[in-house]
Amino acid sequence: MTATPAAPRTVMISGATGGIGRAIAEHLLQEKHRLSLGCREPEALAGTPLGEDPLVQRVAYEATDPDAAERWVARAVDRFGGVDTVVNVAGILSRVPFLFAEGDEAEIRRCFEVNVLGPWWLTRAAWPQLLAHGQGRVINLSSMSGKRVKGTMAAYPVSKFALQALGQAMRNEGWEAGIRVTSICPAWVNTSMASRVPVDPTSMIQPAQIAELVAGLLRLGNAAIPQELALNSQLEIG
């Protein structure tokens, strides 16, 4: 049975130039959602469906700049008349361990700015729009690293644990107003971020599969929205 597309929404997607963000944008465009895409380099989408379709707005966006979030929301509202969905995808990987070397402090701070404060600033800026809709949606692209820590990495998983907590705080804040928040927690995804991982890419989660999940979430009513989706590409116990 073919799933029925959701009623069109106006969706802000950060990190939309490549990888997971681009896959989500391309899938939602096929379902005729209105898209406002936050990209560090919007021109990278030129010559693609995301660069030409009238349902798509491309905005220069830097996740470490809180003012950029306010400007982006204002442009999306000006273009589409409102916003009802925020998909926080922009994120960076850091391999900095707990016993970090001198000079690693800047990378730790940047990891938190992009992975935690970026979604915080953007969703906060869009919050009045989500409240006004009555069935607002926030989808945070987290990680299995936000549920457990493997190996010696610290900066990245700690930032993702913080993003998980942020998603719960958003959920608590918006519940009575009909805002629903979901954290998607994949293991390794076949993107450039995972290019150095010694795992067969075909056994990884594919960006298009995450895009299908996001599209599915937008079809669900308020009573059926999951708080969290954990995606395991390998068996995990405990």
pLDDT tens for the 238 residues of the chain, in order: 345 667 999 999 999 998 999 999 999 999 999 999 999 999 999 999 999 999 999 999 999 999 999 999 999 999 999 999 999 999 999 999 999 999 999 999 999 999 999 999 999 999 999 999 999 999 999 999 999 999 999 999 999 999 999 999 999 999 999 999 999 999 999 987 766 776 777 888 999 999 999 999 999 999 999 999 999 988 787 5
Residue 130 falls within a domain, yes or no?
yes
Backbone φ and ψ of 11, nearest 5° = -120, 125
Domain hosting 96: range is 10-228
Strands 85-88 and 137-141, sheet pairing: parallel
186 forms beta bridges with: 231
**One-letter amino acid of 124:** R
Residue 1 falls within a domain, yes or no?
no
Residue 160 falls within a domain, yes or no?
yes
Find all residues with CB under 8 Å of 39, minimum gap 6, and list them.
Answer: 15, 16, 17, 45, 58, 59, 60, 61
Residue 235 falls within a domain, yes or no?
no
Residue 233 falls within a domain, yes or no?
no
DSSP E strands in the chain: the ranges are 10-14, 34-39, 56-60, 85-88, 137-141, 180-186, 228-231
DSSP state of 4: P
Give the pLDDT of residue 199. 77
Q: For residue 106, what is the domain's CATH number?
A: 3.40.50.720
Give the pLDDT of residue 194. 65
115: which 2 tokens?
A: 């992975």
Residue 3 falls within a domain, yes or no?
no
Residue 236 falls within a domain, yes or no?
no
Domain count across the chain = 1
